[in-house]
A and B are shown apart, each in its own frame.
Chain A
Amino acid sequence: GIQVEQSPPDLILQEGANSTLRCNFSDSVNNLQWFHQNPWGQLINLFYIPSGTKQNGRLSATTVATERYSLLYISSSQTTDSGVYFCAVEATSGTYKYIFGTGTRLKVLA
């Protein structure tokens, strides 16, 4: 089945710093989402982005489907950005289910 790898696994930033999180996947995908799992465990939708580029405030994401990767950019990080970031993909086989990546654990220091 499709493999989804995220990097880096852990990231510590000072408040105000910028960062780039990467998601590599091993096969073509129909759908891709980025989520932020907050310290209370809630998965918050960041982007639905099977291809192209989107921006939402301090966050933006780019998916290059032909090269099988997606990037999440966080600018001017805040302590509330702390948590785990997951990308999730649905393979083109049309199974509907998401395969989640390994996650990036982000800690932003005040």
Chain B
Amino acid sequence: GAGVSQSPRYKVAKRGQDVALRCDPISGHVSLFWYQQALGQGPEFLTYFQNEAQLDKSGLPSDRFFAERPEGSVSTLKIQRTQQEDSAVYLCASSFSASGPYEQYFGPGTRLTVT
């Protein structure tokens, strides 16, 4: 079956531009996660949705970062006024269950480069 998909796969933005990254989770998956992966590091948690409710946004690095999942399926991560330190791979993951145990499935990521 189809896995988690993300678009675009690559994005180059000039410093100060706004960007929007899209995630299509596996159909029927209740939970959706965003992670940020800097070069040479492991992924770091940004935010978590259970259906359309954003239950945890403790990992968002600044108020320039905003995520939404209005209908409980597709999610968008928006970064306003991009800075060079925002350059990273942004990974989306989904899982079937809203309560454990569960397994997270990751998309291919969006590589953001801010110039």
Interface residues of A (CB under 8 A from B): 30-31, 33, 35, 40-43, 45, 48, 50, 86, 88, 90, 94-103
Contact = CB atoms under 8 A, between A and B. Distances in A.
A48 B103 contact: yes
Instruction: Determine the main DSSP class of B at the interface with A.
Output: strand
Contact of B45 (A50, A98, A101): A98
Interface in B37-62: 42-45, 48, 55-56, 59
Interface stretch (B17-25, B67-75, B104-112): B104-112
Given A42-B108, A90-B100, A101-B42, 18 more contacts: A31-B100, A31-B101, A31-B102, A33-B103, A35-B106, A41-B108, A43-B106, A86-B43, A88-B43, A96-B31, A96-B55, A96-B56, A97-B59, A98-B35, A98-B45, A98-B104, A102-B42, A103-B42
B32 to A, nearest CB: 10
6 contacts: A30-B101, A33-B104, A48-B101, A98-B33, A98-B45, A103-B42
Interface of B: 31, 33, 35, 42-45, 48, 55-56, 59, 89, 91, 100-106, 108-109, 111
Contacts of A35: 106
A48 B42 CA distance: 18
Nearest to B9: A41
A6 B89 CA distance: 21
